[in-house]
Structure 1
Amino acid sequence: MRNETRIAFNGYLSHVAKLNGVPSAAVKFNVTPAIQQRLEAKIRESTDFLRKINLVGVTDQQGEALSLGTKGPGAGRTNTGAGNRRNPVSRTSLTKDSYTCVKTDFDTAFLYSEVDQWAAHPEFQTLLTAAITDQQALDRIMIGFNGTSAAPETNLATNPLLQDVNVGWLQKVRVSAPERVIDELVEGSGKVTIGEGGDYASLDSVVYDAVQLLDPWHRNRPDLVVLVSRNLMHSKLLKAVDKGAKSNEEENAASDIITRARLGGLPVIDAPFFPDGTVMITTLANLSIYYQTGSRRRHLKDEPEFDRIADYQSSNDAYVIEDLGLVALVENIEEAA
């Protein structure tokens, strides 16, 4: 580490310690709730997808989903003149998810050669913070779509998509609402096929059918979206892009086609790290990440034995589907042979 980098890094240590009211950030400390909230906001703002879902601080490590932004029908009429009492619809009638916030380590290391490049910039602290929060945001999305378990000790080599870090949204549907999952139509086939001779004529047909898995009052919601894997959209969008390129010479023609893409009449969400061969129908407001307030720990450390600095952080997190009646999942989708 160069001398100017050392000065910049020491300044960063002092700033973090001051914000959290601790003597030093170079020893493990509890991030204050106010700073935790600010850090969570930075993580959320670093990716477009996280900005569209819920990121919620909760007090209890375990509990029932808060049912944010979801509800069933509530309009009606009561003949109070006949002595009947008006009775507002309770959210307890929803098919609620439950949650358990489990400790998740978000540890990041930067080689001296990397931070040496930033030392000359006056925004050194901003660059370092952004690098840390950006990776945490991407990790959370990856876990949300691919997580199937919370192993006592994770293994990145055997679970490169962080499958063993926490239980994500898709796994929540598989376990807690299997009646809303289609993973095969011909028993024993282990797949859902699309195209000529397949289970469905097209991907649009898959979506139209899957919508019927939602509770009846959710099927025509204006905010329904389709999360779809990129491999499934590839042929559909490739044809549209090629057609657009021939008829429209504007540079943004292709991106406009992708932005306006729809399946089964619903807008398409291109979510990072979404599994291949998969479609999920829900609203973005139905997906949440809960973090336990007061649970974030941090330790900034100089590690000369590895020629690097390291940021050790942990947070108690849970991935929640607010209303299980507002989600449908189709997996193992393949082109018909």
Structure 2
Amino acid sequence: MKKTTAVTLMNYLQGISQDNKEDFSRIAMGAKFTVEPSVQQRLENAVQESSDFLKLINIVPVDEQQGEILGLGVAGTIAGTTDTNSAGRKTQAIHALSKIPYHCQQINYDTHLKYATLDMWAKFPDFAKRIGALKAERMALDRIMIGFNGTSRAATSNRVSNPLLQDVAVGWLKKIEDNAPERVMKEETRDSGKIEVGEGKTYKNLDALVFSAVSDLIAPQFQDDTKLVAIMSRDLLADKYFPLVNQSKASEQVSGDIIMSTKRVGGLPAVQAPFVPKGTILITRLDNLSIYYQSGAMRRTLKDNAEYDRYEDYTSSNDDFVVENYESVALLKNIKMVDAPQGDS
């Protein structure tokens, strides 16, 4: 590491110590510290802003590590009548009430930068911003990956055997399978292990499959919800199925991590999000998906590791992946196309 880089790095640490109201010498020596809630909130905002998909779901701070899910979003019907001559009027909860628990557990977002990279970046005035933006973007992608692929939480995760972070935390799809199996379709016929879509099959095309899933798997009061979408895996849709929605800046069409189709599948807007497992469709409102993080529980350690010529950043957050209302979801897995997908326009 160059001397000028070391000076820039010390200034970077000084800013961190001031923001977190921590003694500079402790941080410079590599002591673990608790990130100030306001700083944690800024990081969470940066993570959400770095992903078009995360902007459409909920990222929610919670005070307690464990509790009952908040039930964000509209719960169901509220209209009714009451004969007040014989009984009083009764209010309805405007948000979903559930006894389903959440549990924010530690996830490590540990990174490092090689000295050579630091030497290159140290010359830029936005040194700290560059580091923060890079970490926020990777945290966003990893959270989406866990949300769609997480099936368990290992004591020590293994990214070699689980490249989609399947063993870091339990994600949304696995929670739907565990907590609402009646809203999951994995096969068309018993023991077939697949849902075949195409000519000569029960479902001639994806439209028929999605339409049937809404009618059969989603609770009646949510079937006509205008915010329902079909979040689909990339393999199910040809490129022609996704003309991008017009946006003001062409660059945003390229940089976005979510594609909203102008066409519909089974009457619902088709959405392509990153890391949705192959052969999968999740039907729900986007704001029915949440990531909870425990406020005040983020820990951080910054460490110069000369043995490996790098500067290390150990960051942990207590997170959980939450489905707010299981009545407004339908999960379709193991979909196999036997001919080209078709859709209405």
Both structures adopt the same fold (TM-score exceeding 0.5): yes
Residue type of the alignment partner of 2:172: W
Matched, 1:293 2:282: no
Residue of structure 2 equivalent to 1:248: none
* 1:126-148 CA distance string (max 9 Å, x none): 00111111111111111000000
Which segment drifts farther, 177-186 or 106-115? 106-115
- Unaligned ranges ≥5, structure 1: 242-250
Structure with the larger helix share: 1
Residue of structure 2 equivalent to 1:56: 60
Q: CA deviation at 1:8?
A: 1.4
Distance in 1 between residues matched to 2:96 and 2:286, nearest whole Å: 21
Equivalent pair of 1:192/1:199 in contact (CA under 8 Å): no
Residue of structure 2 equivalent to 1:154: 157
* 1:59-99 CA distance string (max 9 Å, x none): 1111111011121100111111x131111123687566421
Residue of structure 2 equivalent to 1:246: none
CA RMSD for the aligned pairs? 2.1
Distance 1:272 1:188, change over 3 A: same
Residue of structure 2 equivalent to 1:190: 193
Equivalent pair of 1:61/1:100 in contact (CA under 8 Å): yes
Q: CA deviation at 1:11?
A: 1.0
Residue type of the alignment partner of 1:220: D
Distance in 2 between residues matched to 1:65 and 1:331, nearest whole Å: 25
Residue of structure 2 equivalent to 1:278: 280
Residue of structure 1 equivalent to 2:205: 202
Distance in 1 between residues matched to 2:128 and 2:162, nearest whole Å: 32
Q: CA deviation at 1:231?
A: 0.4
Residue of structure 2 equivalent to 1:247: none
Alignment of 1:214-229 (within 5 A): 214-229=218-233
Residue of structure 1 equivalent to 2:22: 22
Q: CA deviation at 1:106?
A: 0.5
Residue of structure 2 equivalent to 1:125: 128
* 1:216-243 CA distance string (max 9 Å, x none): 0100011111100000012xx34777xx
Residue of structure 1 equivalent to 2:326: 324
Q: CA deviation at 1:205?
A: 1.2
Distance 1:13 1:240, change over 3 A: closer
Q: CA deviation at 1:299?
A: 0.8
- Normalising by the residue count of structure 1, what TM-score does the alignment of the two structures yield? 0.91
Distance 1:32 1:240, change over 3 A: closer
Matched, 1:106 2:106: no
Distance 1:191 1:277, change over 3 A: same
Distance 1:286 1:220, change over 3 A: same
Q: CA deviation at 1:13?
A: 0.8
Distance in 1 between residues matched to 2:242 and 2:105, nearest whole Å: 43
SS at match of 2:107: strand
Equivalent pair of 1:97/1:322 in contact (CA under 8 Å): no
- Normalising by the residue count of structure 2, what TM-score does the alignment of the two structures yield? 0.89
* 1:112-134 CA distance string (max 9 Å, x none): 12222211111111001111111
* 1:239-265 CA distance string (max 9 Å, x none): 777xxxxxxxxx99x99x974132112
SS at match of 2:17: helix
Equivalent pair of 1:106/1:312 in contact (CA under 8 Å): yes
Equivalent pair of 2:8/2:122 in contact (CA under 8 Å): yes
Runs of 4+ in 1 over 3 A off after TM superposition: 90-97, 237-241
SS at match of 1:280: strand
Residue of structure 1 equivalent to 2:83: 79
Residue of structure 1 equivalent to 2:4: 4
Equivalent pair of 1:43/1:133 in contact (CA under 8 Å): yes
Distance in 1 between residues matched to 2:97 and 2:295, nearest whole Å: 26
- Unaligned ranges ≥5, structure 2: 244-249, 340-345
Distance 1:44 1:76, change over 3 A: same
Equivalent pair of 2:70/2:97 in contact (CA under 8 Å): no
Distance in 1 between residues matched to 2:99 and 2:273, nearest whole Å: 24
Distance 1:129 1:239, change over 3 A: closer
Distance 1:261 1:143, change over 3 A: same
